[in-house]
């Protein structure tokens, strides 16, 4: 069986140790603070990034660079390795399209090479769930085609729930009107958002107060688990430089719900530029999104 490499983007929010231990190829997405661009060798720490946002500096994001994709994929194709790319939602970034187009060019340059792209219609640790599953299938001896098919069958079951602490970041990202952001902030509205079946981030519910929003996310998780309750790949807990609140979610998920296969990670700049400091997220497998 021909060897294959698993790749993804930096907005899968993987740890450096996980990337190194599993030989994951990571395509960088880019972000900026004011006029400074980051994303490859030049990076900010998570606290530095969110402190800049808290200070009122403008954060923006950019998708992957086709030249970088071509360089990375071309190197593997030259070695005779196929590539299975597990992508950030095509509805949230042009990154998936960049990979698809560049992969076609690389396969043309290296006839016989295979590069498959799985659009997770998801984000962050939702992507990591598919990467963990892909590693499991690869270890079990599945081919790249078999692995791709199994992952694509799981896409409708990837659940990603989010809440944010500051509505103004959703306004800047076009998710709310200025009036909704101002009025909502005045009365402490905390929306629950999810990534829907089409891969878009949309509002699901809203409540008032931080603790209520966290409990509402957990209740939404309970509702969605269904037959997946006892067969989670991983359960992801995400935070925008707000570990204390994320620990509340982790304690409930581990101690009350009984999950031990949790992954606790900060939300990276590619997503954090839109969700802002204080954002919280949960990713898991469920009956529906």
pLDDT digits (tens, 9 = 90+) for 244-275: 999 999 999 999 999 999 999 999 999 999 88
Statement: residue 183 has pLDDT above 50: no
Residues in the chain: 289
pLDDT at 87: 98
Residue 187 has pLDDT above 50, yes or no: no
**C-alpha span between 134 and 147 (Å, rounded):** 6
Residue 206 binned pLDDT confidence (cut-offs 50, 70, 90)? confident
What is the distance between the alpha carbons of residues 132 and 195, in angstroms, rounded to a whole number?
20
Q: Whole-angstrom Cα distance, residue 216 to residue 89?
A: 24
177 vs 82: which has the higher pLDDT: 82
% of the chain residues with pLDDT over 70: 92
What proportion of the chain, given as a percentage, has pLDDT over 90?
A: 84
Q: What pLDDT does residue 182 have?
A: 36
Q: Where in the chain is the domain with CATH 3.40.50.10170?
A: 4-155
Q: What is the CA radius of gyration of the chain?
A: 19
Predicted local confidence at residue 135, as pLDDT: 98
Residue 188 pLDDT grade (very low, low, confident, very high; cuts 50, 70, 90)? low
List, for residues 50-72, the tens digit of each pLDDT value: 999 999 999 999 999 999 999 99
4-155 folds as Rossmann fold (3.40.50)
Query: Which of the two residues, 7 and 188, has the higher pLDDT score?
Result: 7
Boundaries of CATH 3.30.1180.10 in the chain? 157-285
CATH architecture classification, 157-285? 2-Layer Sandwich (3.30)
> What mean pLDDT is reported for the chain?
92
Q: Would you state the pLDDT for residue 41?
A: 83
Is 186's pLDDT higher than 50?
no
Provide the token pair at 28: 């960088």
Exposure of 81 in the CB half-sphere (CA atoms within 13 A): 16
Confidence bin at 10 (pLDDT 50/70/90) = very high
Whether pLDDT at 138 is above 80:
yes
The three-state secondary structure class of 254 is helix
Mean pLDDT of all residues in 23-27:
98
Secondary structure (DSSP) of 36-66:
EEESSS----HHHHHHHHHTT--EEEE---H
What pLDDT score does 181 carry?
40
Q: State residue 102's pLDDT score.
A: 98
pTM score: 0.93
Report the pLDDT value the prediction gives residue 78, as an integer from 0 to 100: 96
> Is the per-residue pLDDT at 103 higher than 90?
yes
């Amino acid at each position: 069986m021909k060897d294959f490499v698993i790749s993804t983007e930096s907005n899968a929010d993987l740890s450096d140790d996980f990337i190194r231990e599993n030989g994951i190829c990571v395509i960088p997405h880019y972000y900026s603070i004011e006029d400074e661009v980051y994303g490859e060798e030049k990076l900010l720490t998570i606290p530095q990034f969110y402190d800049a946002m808290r200070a009122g500096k403008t954060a923006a994001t950019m998708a992957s660079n086709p030249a970088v994709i071509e360089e990375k994929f071309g190197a593997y194709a030259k070695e005779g390795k196929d590539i299975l790319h597990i992508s950030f939602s095509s509805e949230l970034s042009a990154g998936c399209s960049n990979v698809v187009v560049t992969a076609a060019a690389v396969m043309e340059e290296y006839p016989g090479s295979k590069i498959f792209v799985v659009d997770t219609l998801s984000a962050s640790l939702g992507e990591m769930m598919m990467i963990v599953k892909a590693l499991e299938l690869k270890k079990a001896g599945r081919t790249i085609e078999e692995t791709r098919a199994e992952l694509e069958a799981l896409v409708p079951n990837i659940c990603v729930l989010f809440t944010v602490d500051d509505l103004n970041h959703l306004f800047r990202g076009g998710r709310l009107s200025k009036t909704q952001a101002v009025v909502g902030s005045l009365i402490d509205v905390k929306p629950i958002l999810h990534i829907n079946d089409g891969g878009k981030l949309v509002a699901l519910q809203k409540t008032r107060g931080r603790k209520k929003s966290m409990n509402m996310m957990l209740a939404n998780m309970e509702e969605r688990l269904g037959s997946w309750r006892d067969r989670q790949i991983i359960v992801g807990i995400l935070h925008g430089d707000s570990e204390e609140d994320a620990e509340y979610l982790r304690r409930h998920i581990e101690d009350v719900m009984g999950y031990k296969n949790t992954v606790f990670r900060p939300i990276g700049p590619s997503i954090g530029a839109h969700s802002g400091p204080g954002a919280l997220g949960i990713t898991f497998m469920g009956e529906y999104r």
